Structure 1
């Protein structure tokens, strides 16, 4: 008769499988550490306004502030980034990563809008009335007369090699009106 209870002792093969699932190689740990350190560096490089949108606990926020105050040329900055990476490894970073992704998306969207404005300005300058008509159809709040005036002023500036004042003013006008729509 056996004194063993089948439930009291686990199968050794089962234990090996569990260890294999939980095993993380040293290389993988180093890669994760480097990723967390990069995330920390991108947090440190944020503007104060953007930094306020990232959910950081008090300890992590203090570490980020210390890194921002340390000279970037010194060894202390590198060590502080490593410390921030260590703090990030000890936390669930999904909320922080989501906030950083949202900021990156906002940056991309503003770049797309900026390029769209540049293309509209170039079209007004190069194509004249046809581009002005197309812009007015897309953005009815634009003033046709003002756009034609900008077109003429920019052409005169280009002929005289004068400073591009009207060129800049046209961009600002498009930016103001198109962003309102």
Structure 2
């Protein structure tokens, strides 16, 4: 299979409709559908429920979890690609793009919170006021206590237990 993402492969399939299709192009399209099927199977059930999938496709997705052998899974993924041909690819692509954008936004939010945690540990009380200004609902006493404990852990070379607790507090305060 190619190294392209299912999004790029799906875009290639939906673009070429009028021109004659070579055997190589058919294979590329089949691999793209198979990769998209694998991406859908790898998603959480909540994400998967958003896709407009037929009953056959849903049954194929559920069957995947019961297959243990490598060769059986490979053949089943070919079947998934075959079933994907009958699906509404434009609607699936739209939902796939939406899910990917949500993941990107969530990742960016987590990175921002990680930077806050690191800044709070590094700068201590100097960073607390800007944090409180951005997140006024934070428990100030717990925040300061966790910062002190995390700094002490870092100085003593201990595992970052309080840094994790601090991140959890920051994440919960931000509502993620």
TM bin (shorter chain) = 0.7 to 0.9
Measured after TM superposition, the shift of residue 114 of structure 1 is 1.3
Residue correspondences, number: 159
Using the TM superposition, give the Cα deviation of residue 22 of structure 1 relative to its aligned residue in structure 2, in angstroms: 4.5
CA shift for structure 1 position 37: 0.9
Q: Unpaired runs of 5+ in structure 2?
A: 1-17
Q: Indicate yes or no: 2:38 matched with 1:41.
A: yes
Which structure has more RCO (C-alpha within 8 Å, separation ≥ 6)? 2
Q: State the TM-score, normalized to the length of structure 1.
A: 0.78
Structure of larger gyration radius: 1
Corresponding residue to 1:64 among 43, 61, 71: 61
Q: Structure 1 CA distance, aligned partners of 2:64 and 2:174?
A: 40
- 1:106 partnered with 2:102: yes
Q: Answer yes or no: is the 8 Å Cα contact 2:52–2:88 preserved in 1.
A: no
User: How many angstroms apart in 1 are the aligned matches of 2:147 and 2:62?
Assistant: 49
Aligned counterpart in structure 2 of residue 166 of structure 1, from 152, 162, 166? 162
Give the superposition deviation at 1:151. 2.0
Cα pair distance change 1:78/1:142, threshold 3 Å:
same
Larger mean Cα displacement after TM superposition, 120-129 or 132-141: 132-141
1:119 counterpart (109, 115, 118): 115
Cα RMSD, aligned residues only: 1.9
Counterpart-to-counterpart distance in 2, 1:48 and 1:104:
15
TM-score (ref. length: structure 2): 0.80
